[in-house]
Amino acid sequence: MAPDEFRLRARYRKGGRLRFLSHLEVARALERAARRGGMPYAVTKGYTPRMKVAFGPALPVGTAGEREYLDLWLREYVPAPAALRRLAGATPEDLAPTEARYTRAAEPSLASALTIARYEAVVDGVVAEELEAALGELTASGELAVEHKGKTKVFDLARSLPEEVRVKADGGRSVVTLTTRMGPEGSLRPEVLLSAAFDVAGIRDAPVSVTRTDVLMEEEGGWARPL
């Protein structure tokens, strides 16, 4: 990184109907917002210069996010509140940035630093106690084998689920809160865990709506938000 560049970190959300965007679509929309907002963004060197921007771990199509992050490198220093205003003013509401500050140039990338994700999954038409029992049985077994594109991946659940999975009844719905550890070996998606739990409990696949509520860095002595 050039010494005269400034690394601005912003938090944004992915909500409403825009939960149905893919990671690539979200990234492109926010890059366009940065250009529309007239941000003095830095560009990469080389044949096809591109905006210098980096995103946290991908969110799949259909999953909402409450605290998502991006790093944008600027050629010029713009006070963070002004930068946030410019960015937010050019972004659709359901992707709106809500917080921004500068961060040290030497920090590791968001994608590699953010390894803990908290989720809330709302499951329609399933009895909370049944689901809780099934999830308990599943986690007690220690492992979960997942088929994906003809390959089987085995998750060590003690490692993948660093906190206890909780289930709460909310009217006719169950609200599941869970925390997963992401890593190069793969990340356990809440839908996958829930669908395995449905199998255990003999429940037909029920509609699940997932929101990632937080993404965190693992540091000595605990977990921390990147902003």
Partner 1 sequence: MPEAAWHGGRSTFGRRAKAGPAHPPPGRAVLGKTRPRAAALGELAQRTAALFGRVERPARYLDSEWGARRREDVSYRVCLVYPDTYELGMANQALAILYDLLNSIGGVAAERCFVPARDMAALLRAEGVPLATLESVTPLRECRMIGITLPYELTYTNVLETLDLAQVPLHSSEREEDDPLVLGGGPSAYNPEPLAPFLDAVLLGEGEEAAGEIVAAHRASLEAGEDRATLLRRLADVPGVYVPSLYEPDSAGRPRPLAGAPARVLKRVVTDLEAHRSPTCPVVPYMDVVHDRATVEVTRGCTRGCRFCQAGMVYRPVRERGADAVVRDALATLECTGYDEVSLTSLSTADHSQLEDVLRRLARRLEGTGISVSLPSLRVDAFSVDMARLVSAGRRSGLTFAPEAGTQRLRDVVNKNVTDDDLLGTVRRAFSSGWRRVKLYFMLGLPTETDDDIRGIGELVARVMADARAAVPPNERGAVRVGVSVSTFVPKAHTPFQWEPQLTLEEVRRRQAVLRETMPRKGVDLSWHDPEASFLEGVLARGDRRLAEAVEAAWRAGAVFDAWTEEFDLGRWLVAFESAGVDPGAIASGKREPGAPLPWEHLSSGVSTAYLRLERKRALAAEVTPDCSFGECTGCAVCEELGVDVVLGGERRGT
Handedness of CA 216, 193, 96, 58 (dihedral sign): positive
Query: Quick check: 21 binds partner 1 (CB under 8 A)?
Result: yes
Tokens 């709506």 sit on residue: 209
Contact (Cβ atoms closer than 8 angstroms) between residue 182 and residue 116? yes
- Using rule CB under 8 A, residue 101 touches partner 1: no
Stretch that binds partner 1, among 24-32, 104-112, 116-124, 148-156 (CB under 8 A): 24-32
The residue from 4, 49, 89, 125 that contacts partner 1 (CB under 8 A) is 49
Residue 128 has φ and ψ, to the nearest 5°, of -60, -40
CA 23 from centre of chain: 10
- 54 is a contact residue toward partner 1 (CB under 8 A): no
Of 60, 168, 207, 227, the one binding partner 1 (CB under 8 A) is 207
16 strand-pairing partners:
none
> Between β-strands 97-103 and 143-148, what pairing exists: parallel, antiparallel or unpaired?
unpaired
Contacts with 129 (C-beta within 8 Å, 6 or more apart), sequence order? 167, 169
Smallest gap from residue 99 Cβ to partner 1 (A): 21
Q: Which two tokens stand for residue 116?
A: 């803990």
Residue 24 binds partner 1 (CB under 8 A): yes
The distance of closest approach from Cβ of residue 220 to partner 1 in the complex, given in angstroms and rounded to an integer, is 38
Q: Is 70 in the site for partner 1 (CB under 8 A)?
A: no
Token pair 């395995």 is found at 196
Which CB atom, from 18 or from 200, has the smaller least distance to partner 1? 18
In Å, how far from its chain's centre is CA 117? 7
Q: Does 62 bind partner 1 (CB under 8 A)?
A: yes
Query: Which residue among 15, 51, 116, 133 contacts partner 1 (CB under 8 A)?
Result: 51
Q: Which residues bind partner 1 (CB under 8 A)?
A: 16-18, 20-22, 24-25, 28-29, 31-36, 38, 43-44, 46-51, 61-62, 90, 92-94, 207
